[in-house]
Structure formats: structure tokens, C-alpha cells
Amino acid sequence: MHKTNVVREAFSLMTDSGKCAYENPGTDEAIICEMERPIVQLKEMFMSEINMREHHRNTPGIDRTFVSRERHRQLSAESLAEVWLIGPNKARATLSVTTQNSVRSAILPLSRRYRADRMYNTKRLRGKFATDTFYPTAKSLYGNKCCQIYSYKNGFAACYPIASADSNNIGETLDNFIHDFGAPEHLTFDGHMSQVGRKTRFRKSLRKHNIDFHISGPRRPNENPSEGAIRELKRRFYRVMFKNRIPMCLWDFLVVWLCETANLTVSSSKYANGRTPRYQ
């Protein structure tokens, strides 16, 4: 309501208020009685208009989240602080330590159906895993010459026998490990070309599942924890093979059996906390 309309309505009330009960309408009391009620109403109208303007000024605008003009919308610290009601410094720190997976990548409203990305359905393994290749002294009955070992510091180990240590076979072992157990957050491996090549299947799987990695330096086996897992595997491997007189051509069955039984046995590692590695 505009100011002119308020004044006009107030004066109309003053004229229509009727006569007072005083005998002499020219006295001061009669004039005050005539003007008291319209002045009070005029004050109430002005106060309501001022309160309404202050309310609209302090009320933030409502964003239409179902409409967007950009395909890849970047979340800023200011918008996050406004939505979550946190400080700007805390919002910037939150964005710096989060991955922001499943961020919207389409112009809304949607005009067609989009296929779901199956990467987000993969189980994530927390912690730093490591992998290395174990080479037995003979060829197995099924033509396997080596096996890829994936290990964790609590004593967990998984074995995948392969015919050769080329890029396709080692990349297939990583896909099988992700399918069986999940995608690790961090993976350490050596500088073999089948693993460090940018166009290899191994690196493609790392990029697809957003796995952070570390390449150990040359002649630095202490940087790769899988070296210790292979050492313990060899110790049990030769003990069981000589005790049960297992032919060397069946080494791939034995290595897989040793890894599976070790994962179900309480580990002596300090990171196992007296529990089995498989179900931690």
C-alpha cells in the first residue's frame, strides 16, 4: 500500500467517524476526540507497511533447483555455506577434502532418459592396497606362468593366476579383484610397463574406478607392501608342497588355496587387531 493511499484512507476515516458526545463541538476536547481514532489507525497502517517491507528485504530468494542452464554445475563454497548454514571457511575446507561424486551432469529439466553410471554401484575399499607379480619356477597344468597378488597390511591377500604378465592379463586381474572385493581407494605397484602404460587395461581400470595410486621406485621393494605378502606366501607354499608332495604343475591351485585359508585365519599383523583379515 502506497503512502498516498494510506493518508487518503486515514482522512476518509476522520471525516466519517461521526460526531462526538460533546455539546460544544468547537472545544479542544471535542476536536481531540474527533481526531484520536483516525490517527491511531493511521499509525497502525504505517507500521504494518514498514514491517512488510523489512520482511521482504530480509527474506532470501528461493532458487529453482529443478532448472539449470549449465551442464556441469560447479558447487561454490558460498552456496554450500548458505545451504548447510555453515561458515565460508568450513565450506571451503569441506570442498577441498571431498570427491563430490554423483554430481549432476545434465541440463534440467531432463528431456530424455540417461543411462546410470555403474561406477557408483561398485563397493569402495578403504585403505592402501598393494599388488605385485609372483613367478613360480614351473608352468602350471593350465598354462599359467605367474600370478598377481593383491594384499593389504592386515594380512589379507588375493591371488589371480595368469598365463603371462602382459598388460591385458594384469588389467583383467584388477577387474576381477574389483568385482570380487571392491575398488580400493589407493593402490601401490611397481613400474612394470604393463601397469604404468597410459593405454594399458590396468591404467584404464584405475581411471574408470577413480583409484589413487603410487608407483614404487626402481630397486626399492620396501615401498611395495606386496613384497612382504609374497614372502609369507612363498614360505607357506614350499612348506605345504613338500609336506603333501604336491606336484609343481599344480602350484596355481595351491597358491589360491593358501590365500583363501590365510584370509580366514587370525593374522599376527598388528593391523589385524587379533581378527581374521577377510571379515574386518
Looking at the fold, whether 81 and 46 belong to one and the same domain comes out as no
In a domain? residue 274: no
Phi, psi of 213 (to 5 degrees): -140, 165
pLDDT at 60: 58
Q: Which of 140, 149, 173, 177 is nearest to 236 (CA)?
A: 149
CA–CA gap between residue 76 and residue 80 (Å, rounded)? 6
Q: How confident is the model at residue 104 (pLDDT cuts 50, 70, 90)?
A: low
pLDDT band at 128 (very low <50, low <70, confident <90, very high): very high
Let me know: does 252 contact 161? Beta carbons within 8 Å.
yes
Residue 270 forms part of a structural domain? no
Q: Answer for the pair 249, 137: CB distance below 8 angstroms, yes or no.
A: no
Q: Which residue has the higher pLDDT, 277 or 161?
A: 161
Residues 125 and 259 reside in one and the same domain: yes
pLDDT of amino acid 6? 46
Residue 110 or 13, more confident: 110
Q: Do residues 258 and 130 both lie within one domain?
A: yes
Provide the number of structural domains found in the chain.
Answer: 3
Judgement on whether residues 220 and 125 belong to the same structural domain of the protein: yes
Do residue 87 and residue 129 come from a single domain? no
In a shared domain, residues 239 and 110:
no
What is the CATH number for 195?
3.30.420.10
* Whether residue 147 is found in the same domain as residue 100: no
The mean pLDDT value for 112-125 works out to 71
Strand order in the sheet with 146-151: 157-162, 146-151, 124-134, 183-189, 212-215
In a domain, 54, yes or no: yes
In a domain, 275, yes or no: no
In this prediction the pTM is: 0.63
Residue 272 included in any domain: no
Does residue 280 sit within a domain? no
Domain that holds residue 29: 3-58
Do 165 and 253 belong together in one domain?
yes
CA atoms of 258 and 276, how far apart (whole Å) = 14
For residue range 169-189, what is the model confidence (pLDDT) as tens digits?
999 999 999 999 999 999 999
147 and 24 fall within a common domain: no
Q: How confident is the model at residue 278 (pLDDT cuts 50, 70, 90)?
A: confident
Mean pLDDT of 40-68: 67
Q: Is the confidence at residue 37, as pLDDT, over 80?
A: no
pLDDT digits (tens, 9 = 90+) for 239-272: 999 999 999 999 999 999 999 999 999 888 888 8
Residues 180 and 131 in one domain: yes
Does 158 reside within a domain? Answer: yes
The pLDDT of residue 55 is 63
pLDDT at 11: 47
122/140 Cα distance (integer angstroms): 33
CA 271 to chain centre: 25
Say whether pLDDT at 18 is over 50. no
